[in-house]
Each structure stands twice: as structure tokens, then as C-alpha cells.
Amino acid sequence: MKRLLLVGAALALVATTNVQAGPREDIVALLMAEASAEDAAFAGFSGERGQILFSSNFNTGKPETPSCTSCHSTSPQNMGETRAGKPIEPIAVSKTPERFTDPEKVEKWFRRNCRSVIGRECTALEKGDFITYMMSQ
């Protein structure tokens, strides 16, 4: 009985690990393919560029949201807040493990937030850099 429970726990662990690691890797792999298509000189994503993207003041989008940090707070590990004051779970993967695991959610929010902050959609390179940075946080 005890052994069965142990096996069950191990299987459950494997299942959750897959749910958390697989989809995010798929999303990053797809972005890599897109980034190479956008630029033949593409040489991989960079967490450093992702950090710059996250914390830059663009001032090319909506005046009230010059930066990703306008809503996600200046530290990816902290809670953020929408303009209406609604809490946003930390964007860092270590704090919110389900981040960047749902392709539709990822696309929807990149589209909306890049338009608000930068005034255009993000490139595949920018998306991959951003996710790479958040995976290190």
C-alpha cells in the first residue's frame, strides 16, 4: 500500500513537471523558428536584452504605460497591478510557475501589452528575450 502511494506520488510529480516544462519549451522553440525567419543572423535569445526590454521606458505607446514595469512592477518577482488597481501575479517563472505555458495567453498579452507600451507588436526576438529573462527570475 505504502509502495503504491509512493509510485502514485512519483507519477503525479512527473505529470506536473511535464505540464510546467513542456509547453513553455514548445513556445520558446516556436519563437526561435520565427526569430530565425525574421533574421537570418539570429543567434539565440538573451535574458540581458529581455531585462532591458522589461525595464525600458519606451514612450512610444500609451502615455500612461511607458514601460512593462508600469503594471508588472519594477521587479519581476513582485506582485504587479493593472491601471485599475487589480493585482497581477509576479511575472517571474520562479514565483508564478504557470507563466508562459499557455500559447494563447502568451500571444494575447504580448500583442496587447507591446502595443500599449511600445506602440507596436513585439518581434519574435523580443518575445523570446522577455521569456528567457523571466525564466531566469
Q: Which residues of the chain form contacts with ligand HEC (CB under 6 A)?
A: 65, 68, 70-72, 82-83, 88-89, 99-100, 105-106, 109-110, 113-114, 116-118, 130
State phi, psi for 133 to the nearest 5 degrees.
-65, -45
Rounded CA Rg of the chain = 17
Could you tell me the smallest distance in angstroms from the CB atom of residue 96 to ligand HEC? Answer: 7
Write down how long the chain is. 137
Could you tell me the smallest distance in angstroms from the CB atom of residue 27 to ligand HEC? Answer: 9
* Selection from 67, 47, 69 nearest residue 126 by Cα: 47
CA 119 to chain centre: 19
Could you tell me the smallest distance in angstroms from the CB atom of residue 98 to ligand HEC? Answer: 7
Question: Whose Cβ is closer to ligand HEC: residue 68's or residue 124's?
Answer: 68
Alpha-carbon distance 133 to 135, whole Å?
A: 5
Question: Whose Cβ is closer to ligand HEC: residue 35's or residue 68's?
Answer: 68
Question: Whose Cβ is closer to ligand HEC: residue 37's or residue 83's?
Answer: 83
Alpha-carbon distance 108 to 89, whole Å?
A: 17
Could you tell me the smallest distance in angstroms from the CB atom of residue 43 to ligand HEC? Answer: 21
Question: Whose Cβ is closer to ligand HEC: residue 32's or residue 71's?
Answer: 71
